[in-house]
Structure 1
């Protein structure tokens, strides 16, 4: 019972609170790693009105069941908007083509009655990659289906999606609670990072995998973090990448995702378009939809390029995915510190380890193989860059790498002419050295 409760309460931990110590150059790597071991997000305390939401709880009473259904229906009305076209994806997703200014972002008081902005100037030094068309990135559009101009594709939220969450209010969010003891640490990372300067964006190419996730309540992701704030209650982050999250999506497909918060995950922000915030401008990419194809061990490698940058004119943070496709933007008013600039950028992988049956999880990070195995076997970030104060893309200066559980998941950095700054990372989780 104790193991089940711990697994049910797992939520994504915060690596950022630990990283504040990286600003103190006098600390040794040993001390840094010991600090990382102390970080976690333990179980959240559910509200009385939603604590019985999960189907795992079999003691629902009729009134509680009715309140649960009412809460779900109210939430559906907020995030599932009327569509002009509906597309059924081979993976079971339903994609709604929603008029662009009716998407959830425009429920925000600051955006009500407005329309999406025109694209800004891209950073200097940025070249659009020739490659796969946007329709080739995701399963829902593989058979030539598209959303009409003036609409955006939105993955429809189903009842079972919300039922997998602990509560309606926590669905699509990362909950923030901390407990400083090593037994509660369930979040493990292998990342490259830069800090100590002012950053106005980041770019990298990431190869996509379909890592095995052992438990429904664990996940594996690879992403870029744009970070600013004091690493306390005012932490601002912008996040984008790919993830396998059975709890959020109900399957094991790698999916394109975004996230944001301006208060360290306390009350603001959400994944994808599950709240008012991110403004989508593209009618060919569905945030939260499955990416296809993915890379194969000793076989073909499929990577996507992500670029996040701050528009110098309006201050909004824009996102580009794949071969030059603008996805949309996070309005500057969503943030406090990120209205100005970022103080840290991170690139890399993260998993949740719920320690099933008292052992380390076998959930994989990246390809599920260690960094030393290299190309076609390990996962990688390549051509790692940042955007400077003058809207120039430049190589990430002084890129450092760190793995907080290197016997389970590790990282190795390097640089060459073809890939610029890069690193390999990942691992299998449970193995003889990671029991």
Structure 2
């Protein structure tokens, strides 16, 4: 007969307790189909609770977003150490609406058919979906509620909402090294118009609003106006436009965004209000909220006007949406070089993907998804302006267009025989020429 193994009752209890501890520990690392440490889950819950505790009103948007109306002095910006005693500037001192040298009749005379159609489509038609469901009262700012599952996907809470940094440095070819230092980034593909050579205090543009296809959850496609200062590996930047960014917003809707960094996105900066920094003043616009309608082939090319500019008295970098609404600003305490001015301005599109520059290439689209044309298939920028040391906004005297993957995303600048230049950019990503 075989021997029977007898386990003492006390030993069995120890084994059972140890097994229970293993199961409990394993469970703490699993949350809704993903693997997260219990510490990370608790940190995320603490952060979200902190963001929501100051909500005075909650608006549920028909697209699924939740907008919290937060007391203006309880917004995330004041969690930044440099802004503990910051006093909000409620309105800029610089009146930008009357500072454009180029008259309306001159602009309309030189427009192409597409640009004229864009001008005829009222800017007021573009709105945010959440606005159908309510308004935030004065003294509050509308903040799109961050979802727990979206922030848990990030490698860390600190990295949520931040662009992936890059330290690569490649030669651009016919462009000089200074231009290279601003545009060439690993895993980032750009199709832009760029100007340099002055002290830039502001930049403006009308951006056609599209809804490009984004292939993977950790990729994004943006169109924006950017002001930049610094070297390629440590640049400072403020920018605004629209984005399709599933990793930040949890879906593939086209959303209004602002972004900043003081160190090439290594440790500072983020989209919208996902980290402390940007001070919002408007109770009408919610950063990160979906905008509609978007341009479709054969339809009206809907567009938004973005103007990023420096207040000459406070040095705050303001973001204006449309021709009237000042959303808020980045205080100068966030920056070093940008405290005084920007060294370059970019208009155009950007795609982030780990397969940029590789085969197979990402199928994430830029702009409207088509290669540049003057009809309705590509992204476009019109009424591009800069503010340098002069009093007025003006058309930049020197520009160069650039694409680091012209078979995937290309550029077309229309500057000859027109009094107001136009810029077309974008593409489908993966295609027969970009396998």
User: Which TM-score applies when normalising by structure 2?
Assistant: 0.80
| Structure 1 partner of 2:247 | 247
CA distance in 2, matches of 1:248, 1:316: 26
Change (3 A) 1:226 1:239: same
Q: Partner residue of 1:207?
A: 208
Q: 1:18: which partner in 2?
A: none
Instruction: Kindly report which structure 2 residues correspond to 1:28-427, keeping only aligned pairs within 5 A, or say none.
Output: 58=35, 64=37, 66-112=38-84, 114-119=86-91, 120-123=93-96, 124-126=98-100, 131-133=122-124, 136-143=126-133, 145-178=134-167, 185-233=186-234, 235-355=235-355, 358-371=359-372, 373-415=373-415, 420-427=420-427
Q: Are 1:79 and 1:273, in contact at CA under 8 Å, matched by a contact in 2? A: no
Alpha-carbon RMSD: 2.7
- Partners of 1:173 and 1:202 in 2: CA distance: 23
Shift of the alpha carbon at 1:237?
0.6
Does the C-alpha gap of structure 1 residues 185 and 316 become closer, same or farther in structure 2, counting only changes over 3 Å? closer
- Distance verdict in 2 for CA 1:193–1:366, change over 3 Å: same
SS class of match (2:394):
strand
Distance between the aligned counterparts of 2:221 and 2:31, measured in 1?
A: 22
The worse-fitting range, judged by mean Cα deviation, of 425-434 and 409-418 is 409-418
- 8 A contact 1:90–1:140 mirrored in 2: yes
Per-residue CA distance 1:168-205 (angstroms, 9 max, x = gap): 221111243535699x9432110000012111110000
Aligned partners of 2:347 and 2:381 also within 8 Å: yes
CA pair 420-355 structure 1, distance change in 2 beyond 3 A: same
Secondary structure class of the residue paired with 2:39: helix
Please name the residue that 2:8 is paired with: none
In the TM superposition, residue 267 of structure 1 has moved relative to its aligned partner by: 1.7
Q: Which runs of 5+ in 2 are unaligned?
A: 1-28, 105-118, 172-184
- Alignment match, 1:26: none
CA distance in 1, matches of 2:408, 2:284: 37
- In 2, Cα distance between equivalents of 1:336 and 1:294: 37
Q: Call closer, same or farther: CA 1:391–1:77 in 2, change over 3 Å.
A: farther
Q: Work out the CA distance in 2 between the residues paired with 1:417 and 1:339.
A: 38
CA distance in 1, matches of 2:320, 2:31: 35
When residues 208 and 419 of structure 1 are mapped into structure 2, their CA distance, relative to the original with a 3 A threshold, is: farther
Change (3 A) 1:424 1:177: closer
> What is the CA distance between 1:86 and its match in structure 2?
0.4
- Matches of 2:415 and 2:343, distance apart in 1: 23
Q: Is the 8 A contact 2:194 2:347 kept in 1?
A: yes
Counterparts of 1:152 and 1:399, CA distance in 2: 37
Shift of 1:90: 1.3
**Conservation of the 8 A alpha-carbon contact between 1:53 and 1:168:** no
SS of structure 1 residue aligned to 2:282: coil
> Computing the radius of gyration over CA atoms, which structure comes out larger, 1 or 2?
2
Contact 2:218 2:353 in 1 (8 A): no
Residues 192 and 180 from structure 1, CA distance in 2 versus in 1: closer, same or farther, beyond 3 angstroms? closer
User: For residues 53 and 257 of structure 1, do their structure 2 counterparts lie closer, same or farther at Cα, with a shift above 3 Å needed?
Assistant: farther
Give CA deviations for 1:75-107 in whole Å, capped at 9, x if unaligned.
224544521110011111100001111111122
Return closer, same or farther for 1:185/1:362 CA change in 2, 3 Å cut-off.
Answer: same
Partners in 2 of 1:222 and 1:54 — Cα distance? Answer: 34
After TM superposition, the structure 1 stretch with the greater mean CA deviation from structure 2, 334-343 or 106-115, is 106-115
Runs (5+) with no aligned partner, structure 1: 1-51
Is the 8 Å Cα contact of residues 308 and 318 (structure 1) preserved in structure 2? yes
Deviating more after overlay: 412-421 vs 347-356? 412-421
Structure 1 residues 117 and 109 mapped into 2: Cα distance closer, same or farther (>3 Å)? same
